[in-house]
Each structure stands twice: as C-alpha cells, then as structure tokens.
Amino acid sequence: MKDQLRTSLFHLLIIGLMAGLYFTLPEYHSGVLARAMVLAVYAMGYNLLFGYTGLLSLGHALFFATGMYGLGLAMQHLDVGASTGIVFGLIAALVISTVIGFLALRTTGVAFMIVTLMFAQAGYLIILWMGEYTRGDEGFAIQASERVLAGIDLSQPDNRYFAALVLFGISLLLIGWVVRSGFGKTLVAIRENEERARMLGYNVHRHKWVAVIISGVLSGAAGAAYALLFGYVGATFATVQYSIFPLLYVLLGGAGTTLGPLVGTVFMYYLIDLSSQVTSAYLLIAGVALILLTLFAPQGIIGELRKRVFPWLP
C-alpha cells in the first residue's frame, strides 16, 4: 500500500510539473508537448503490453486508428457531439482489442508480431476500402466548431494543452496503479518466466488477454483524443509507421517504466525537430542518436536512471 501511495504521489508531482511547464514554455513548445502527451498515452498503452507483459505487437496502429475513427466517423456521420464521440472511440477500441487479443494470443513470439502486423494491415486496407465514409488516404477534418467538450473549445491551444494533460494524467495514474497491483506484478512474472507463472497457478492466457484489452483501449483513447484535439482523421495513423512509433518511444524512454513512454516521446520529437533545423539529413542524425542510446543505454532513459541512480522509480 505504501508503495502504491508513493507511486501515485510521484506521478501527481509529474502531472503538476507538466501543468507548470505550460506557463513557462513558449507557445511553440507547449504545442509540441500537447501532441507528445497524447502520443505518450498511446506509448503507455503499448508499454503495458510490451514493457510489462513482454508481448511485442507490431500492430498497435490498429488500436490507435480504431479510437480515432470510432470518434471521427461517429462525429462526421452520426452527427454526435465530442463526448459521445469519445464513447464511440473507446467502445470501438474495446471491441477490437478484445477480438484481436483473443485471436492473436493463440500465437507467441515472432508469430504474435506477424499476426498483429497483419491485423493492422487489414485494418488499414479496410479504411481505404471504405473510402466513401473514411475519405481514404486523404482523411477528413473535424471542424473547430465541433471540437467542443463540456463547453470547452479544444481548438484553443491552452484548452488543448490541458485536455491533453488531463488524459495523460488519468492514464499515468491508472497505469501506475495497474503495474503496482497484483495483476500488474503477475504480468511482469509472465514476462519473466511464463511457464513458472502458469505453474504457480496463474491463468496466463487470461492475464495476457486483459493486458491486450487495457493496452488497446488506452491506445484507442489516445487516437480519439488526437482526432479531437488536432482536428484530423486520416489513414496515415493506421500505417505500419504508427505501429513502430510507440515501440521506439518505449525503447528510448524505458520499457517497463511508467514514465518511459513520455520521456521517449518527447525525446524523439525534439530529436527530429532539432536535427531537421540543422540539416535535411535529419533522419541520419536521429538514427545515430538512436543507435548510441541503444548501445549505451539499452534499458532506455528512465530504465538506465532506475538501474543506476533511482532504484525506486516506478
């Protein structure tokens, strides 16, 4: 219990710090952070499955896009408001992750990676195929006038920042609580030694399934929030690239740490941002930085900090 309390207090401190940053950073950077916080929620969902449970998915863009299109299509074609749109996005992500989890978890290891990749490709193709509603590759915009949640205009930068912070904060506290719970510790046990966990009497399959569902719903929540805050729904977000991003964020920030996803996302954002100011070969600089980090900090930024300096980091 003491452990849970300390983790929650630490996370509240981080949330407070992020709130404070809005008032100290120039507008450009707070805009970047708003986007990074939403993508960090996506990475946190990914991290629960990859970092804590040891399941490497290459198809999480499907969950992100499901949340995004669940909200976007409902608002566009059913003429519902933002709050109902969010409900649609979350339910869509819940249903899809439940079904995909059930099917994909019949496999393990490399086969799991391939199966999730294929499901995500199928999802991407379905979005293109249903171009009449989804506008295919081009996507569609959600008008600023519709992006109003409980009377708050989310197209305004300050509102957008704090909406992203609320989502990030809730997700961080939730993840912090999950990974410190008996359930979360069992996920780690499954990651470490699945057969031993089974022979301690744990229903390994059910634990993994629930992990896929929580992971998928968080990713979907991030997708829905992205559409709502930035006003665009497009098939790009369902591509393989968007399945790889959370993996990169988590690896850089620290797999199996609660703050790794945020740190990795922000790091990656600024790495690309800064290097593209210096040269057009910015991906080269980004690549070298990634290789150096992988070589010298294989556990990611927060992972290394936990290993070397702060062993109490959640």
CB contact at 8 A, 82 and 147: yes
CB contact at 8 A, 264 and 258: no
Greatest alpha-carbon span in the chain = 56
Quick check: 197 binds another protein (CB under 8 A)?
yes
Quick check: 182 binds another protein (CB under 8 A)?
yes
Q: Considering beta carbons, is residue 171 or 257 the nearer one to another protein?
A: 257
CB of 312 to another protein, least distance (A): 13
Identified binder of another protein from the candidate list 125, 199, 244, 292, rule CB under 8 A: 199
Q: Considering beta carbons, is residue 177 or 202 the nearer one to another protein?
A: 202
Identified binder of another protein from the candidate list 4, 156, 193, 279, rule CB under 8 A: 193
Q: Considering beta carbons, is residue 203 or 294 the nearer one to another protein?
A: 203
| Segment near another protein (CB under 8 A); pick from 112-120, 185-193, 236-244, 291-299 | 185-193
Question: Between the CA of residue 289 and those of 44, 98, 106, 276, 306, what are the distances in Å?
Answer: 22, 37, 37, 13, 21
Q: Considering beta carbons, is residue 77 or 185 the nearer one to another protein?
A: 185
Quick check: 186 binds another protein (CB under 8 A)?
yes
Q: Which residues contact 275 (CB under 8 A, 6 or more apart)?
A: 282, 285, 286, 289
Question: Between the CA of residue 105 and those of 108, 130, 212, 261, 266, what are the distances in Å?
Answer: 7, 28, 9, 24, 31
CB of 59 to another protein, least distance (A): 27
The footprint of another protein on residues 261-300 (CB under 8 A) is: none
| Segment near another protein (CB under 8 A); pick from 11-19, 29-37, 188-196, 238-246 | 188-196
Quick check: 3 binds another protein (CB under 8 A)?
no
Closest CA to 300 of 258, 262, 267, 255: 255
CB of 212 to another protein, least distance (A): 18
Q: Considering beta carbons, is residue 203 or 241 the nearer one to another protein?
A: 203
Backbone angles phi, psi at 298, to 5 degrees: -60, -20
CB of 306 to another protein, least distance (A): 13
DSSP code, position 156? S
The footprint of another protein on residues 73-132 (CB under 8 A) is: none
Q: Considering beta carbons, is residue 83 or 181 the nearer one to another protein?
A: 181
| Segment near another protein (CB under 8 A); pick from 128-136, 147-155, 193-201, 301-309 | 193-201
Closest CA to 38 of 122, 162, 132, 123: 162
Structure tokens at 209: 């399934």
d(CA 98, CA 88): 15
Q: Specify the pairing of strand 148-149 against strand 232-233.
A: unpaired
CB of 206 to another protein, least distance (A): 9
Identified binder of another protein from the candidate list 92, 142, 189, 224, rule CB under 8 A: 189
Backbone angles phi, psi at 296, to 5 degrees: -105, -15
Where on the chain is the footprint of another protein (CB under 8 A)? 182, 185-186, 188-189, 192-193, 195-204
